[in-house]
Amino acid sequence: MSEQTKPRQAIEFSEEQAMMLDTATEYCRTQSPISRVRDLIDADDGFDRAIWQEMVDLGWLGITIPEAYGGLDLGLAEVATIVEPMGRHLLASPYSSTTLAIQTLIHGGTEAQKGAWLPRLAAGEIGTVATVEANGNWNLDSAEAFGIHDRDNVKLGGVKTFVTDAASASIVIATVRIDGKVQLALIERSKIAETALVRETVIDETRRSYRLNLDGITISSDDVLETACLDDIRNAALLLLVAEMTGGLAGVLDVIVEYLTTRKAFDKYIGSFQSLKHPTVDILMGLESARSHLYHVATIIADRSEEVEIALRMAKAQASEAFAFAGDRAVQFHGGFGFTYECDAQLFLRRALWCQYQFGDERHHRKLLADLIL
């Protein structure tokens, strides 16, 4: 059968995934009302430690961790069902950062590194990855941060940016260039001086993002991961972003519909005006398309094939564009109030713009898709 006529794999959504989605949706709805989201913007950590512990108790941190290390030995498809409701309700937590660190250890760590850290991450310790360079380059194989061997140690140098949840993390896994090759350095929080972390001002204030200066940090050679699993990091990061944006689309649509069905002008609900109906339907179609892309990717991501990269880039491009459009329309629909900080649509637009440019916007991914598909 030719490649052109080869049937695409159907979207699979198991009963277990459906149950996890329902549980996560109800949990995020009750634990992350918009008033709580706003309160946590001013909190030091940016998230509620008690809610984080409840997520640990629910087993969410151990979803992809093998049973031998205290996890459930499931896949990223199940993780997507957790992250989507988090995005819908803007639940602030280091879940995605820690999941990405877990995936990096699973695919690139030595047995000793997995044995030391996966059980601790499953039990609630926080991890993150540092992949973005000082100039904002998110290309994983273009690391400018470096490591130099010094007997049994490696001296690190350079700067990483957009390191989410770094101040709360027990470990940071950074891409660095050692002996001319990009490798992954596992850095314990105790090795990072307080002055080496500087909180960044980012558009999404529900985030905690940091600039990390690696100068002066020395790690053991045993703390360099066995494999630089860059494709696995990219795949997991894109899936998590798509899941979050898909949920965000649903959340901002809720905000829009509530406003259109309560606000009146000329003695009519403004939702009856065609000029507002049509873009709202476009947002709904964008949501359904993003969700289809998301769960298609979730179905095939374990294959680690070229088709996975194509599906991920298509999903990221679709979700980035649709969520940014929805956030912008939500602000516009609210009129003058929409441009004030008190309008909830603002929070979703800020989240949309943050996610849109993480690991590349829609133009970046469509440019790469041209080579993959054509």
The pLDDT of residue 9 is 65
Q: In the CATH scheme, what is the code of domain 230-373?
A: 1.20.140.10
Residue pair 146/203 in contact (Cβ under 8 Å)? The answer is no
Closest CA to 218 of 195, 192, 198: 192
The pLDDT of residue 3 is 45
Across the chain, which has 374 residues, the per-10-residue mean pLDDT values are: 50 89 96 97 95 97 96 96 98 98 98 98 98 90 93 96 97 96 97 96 96 97 96 96 98 96 86 89 97 95 87 97 97 92 95 96 94 86
Alpha-helical segments (H) within 261-361 = 274-300, 306-333, 344-357
Q: In the CATH scheme, what is the code of domain 15-125?
A: 1.10.540.10
197 in helix, strand or coil?
A: strand
Q: In the CATH scheme, what is the code of domain 128-223?
A: 2.40.110.10
3-state secondary structure 15-36: HHHHHHHHHHHHHHHHHCCHHH
Cβ neighbors of 347 (< 8 A, separation 6 or more) are: 34, 37, 38, 90, 206
Give phi and psi for 183, each to the nearest 5.
-130, 175
Domains in the chain: boundaries: 15-125, 128-223, 230-373
Q: Distance (Å, rounded) from C-alpha 350 to C-alpha 134?
A: 22
Closest CA to 362 of 288, 290, 281: 290
